[in-house]
Amino acid sequence: MKSLLKYLRNYRKESILAPLFKLLEASFELFVPIVISKIIDVAIPSGNNSMIIKMGLVLGLLALVGMVAAITAQFFAAKAAVGFSAELRSAVFAHIQTFDFTSIDKVGISTLITRMTSDINQLQNGVNMVLRLFLRSPIVVFGAMIMAFTIDVKSALIFAVAIPLLAVIVYGIMLITMPLFKKVQGSLDKVLSHTRENLTGVRVIRAFGLEEKELGDFEADNRILSKSQTRVGRFSALTNPLTYIIVNGAIIALIYVGGVQVNIGSLTQGQVVAIINYMSQILVELIKLANLIVLMTKAAACGDRVADVLKMENASAIKETGEKTVTGESLKANSLEDYIVFDHASLTYEGAGAETLTDIDFSVKKGQTIGIIGGTGSGKSSLVNMIPALYYATKGSVRFCGRDVKDIDAGELRKKIGIVPQKAVLFKGTIRNNLLWGKPDATDEDLWKALDIAQATEVVKGKEGGLDAPVEQNGRNFSGGQRQRLTIARALVGHPEILILDDSASALDYATDANLRKAISEIKDTTVFIVSQRASSIRNADKIIVLDDGEIAGIGTNDELLESCEVYNEIYYSQYERA
């Protein structure tokens, strides 16, 4: 939690002025019982109406100045809190952008969303309330006690007993509730994860008629969250009644002691009223302080969770001592060299019980077209994701231009690679904005050339505005095939040395797919990896890699594999008739 305070450093002025103005407000508030005491003891008994009016004006002035101070304090506190949350959220988002896939898989997308939204919102509220009340409430409590001692020591001793008891109650409840709030946020993660899965998979759920089952699962997660919140709420709810009991007990004791003191002439009626007013002020402030403690406990729990994300190290950044990062200048190869080499590489995902890929061993020369085929779950996507270092080999190595990809700067490596994932993702904006992700300084000529190769020219020309046609969130105003062609064009804009098409033409008809492959094959000096379930998409590749349950079942050309690889035969002849 302490590590997050650095995001307040640009708001030092506001963080200082907010509590100072609150202290000013509290100081004026402490004078109110003294003024009332003067009215009761001096002005009313003497019938001095002018003094009553003057004291009334003083009370009005104290209220006005206190209100101005309070508004000013709240302005500075809000500015600091909102600025703090904005900077923290930006820092968390920027840090998440550095994560590789392993790190994201380890934490979970729903957890990251919760920590960037709900947790940081709780922190914002916590900072706001701390700046407004953390100094004000203690000052009013101890200031009221001191003022009471200046009036009558004997009566004020009741304060000296009540305040420590109240402190013990508040601190004890805080110790109990803080770990419980962490559990509540953990339960919230599960509910959000379930909600996200249901929203993204709503079509599948409805297709299988599993709405009632999913409702039941959601209600189970929600019930756990509800129980956690109820449990922590019960403890938090004890704060107000316990403080009321002690403070009201103290007021009863004050009235009794004050009454005795008035009878014997040691105190005036106005002084007793002032002391009781001070105790009432303490009651109000302790209620505020108790609520603040609850909010601070929530904020502290959320702050620890956010800090955990910021402390996470990206797996790609963890290197052995003495290793040096290879820059783009060293990444050069000619067509005669082994351009990309999988040297007995294996991959095990974080938390998985078994290897996804086992002993993958092959090499690729520059300019070759490589087809990768295999059954569902055979590890095709996992294999190509190791080339741009989205995942690192857990055994063996993957080398690019003779260098282990673990030693190459990820940014430099990925500048040379264009990858089109299985799920075609377009971002809200325009077609031009999406294409420029491949190369920010690309000209319109570059964009149209990439669109032509990707067979997407007609898609863009058919939209009003052409390149500047709007793209809705997730590209929902485009069909599946149109999205795939536009994402392929985006990868081609940057003229990549390596192009990875991860089953990215699955929504295209056979004619468009054939035209796409023909256009890509005409690009010079580009090494192409085509992952596909269609034998037609990879049959003309220079080398075909057949995967079966994470292992290589065969490597060769189409004709070689038809003669030697049983797995390839099964796939091929499930799509073509035997001659």
* Residue 303 and residue 426 share a domain: no
Average pLDDT score, the chain: 85
- Structure token pair of residue 528: 């192409």
Position 539 in a domain: no
Position 46 in a domain: yes
Structural domain total, the chain? 2
Decide: helix, strand or coil at residue 192: helix
Helix (H), strand (E) at residue 430: strand 429-430
Q: Percent of the chain at pLDDT above 90?
A: 26
From residue 290, give the alpha-carbon distance in Å to each of 119, 157, 179, 570: 21, 23, 17, 70
* Residue 445 and residue 298 share a domain: no
List the CATH number of the domain containing 466.
Answer: 3.40.50.300
Say which residue the tokens 């420590």 belong to: 164
* Residue 245 and residue 103 share a domain: yes
Interatomic CA distance for residues 405 and 396, integer angstroms: 12
Q: Which of 477, 496, 515 is the last residue of a domain?
A: 496
Q: Is the pLDDT of residue 169 over 70?
A: yes
DSSP secondary structure, 337-400, as one string: SEEEEEEEEEE--TT-SS-SEEEEEEEEETT-EEEEEESTTSSHHHHHHTTTTSS--SEEEEEE
Higher pLDDT residue, 111 or 491?
A: 491
Interatomic CA distance for residues 362 and 340, integer angstroms: 9
pLDDT class of 577 with cuts at 50, 70, 90: confident
* Strand ranges across the sheet with 527-531: 417-420, 498-502, 527-531, 369-374, 543-548, 551-556
Cα angle 309, 315, 321 (rounded to 5 degrees) comes to 120
DSSP at 420: E
pLDDT digits (tens, 9 = 90+) for 410-463: 888 888 899 898 888 899 999 999 999 888 889 999 999 999 999 999 999 988
299: domain range? 2-310
Position 386 in a domain: no
List the CATH number of the domain containing 172.
Answer: 1.20.1560.10
User: 36 near 274, Cβ under 8 Å?
Assistant: yes
Q: Which of 450, 476, 496 is the last residue of a domain?
A: 496
Interatomic CA distance for residues 505 and 399, integer angstroms: 27
This prediction's pTM: 0.68
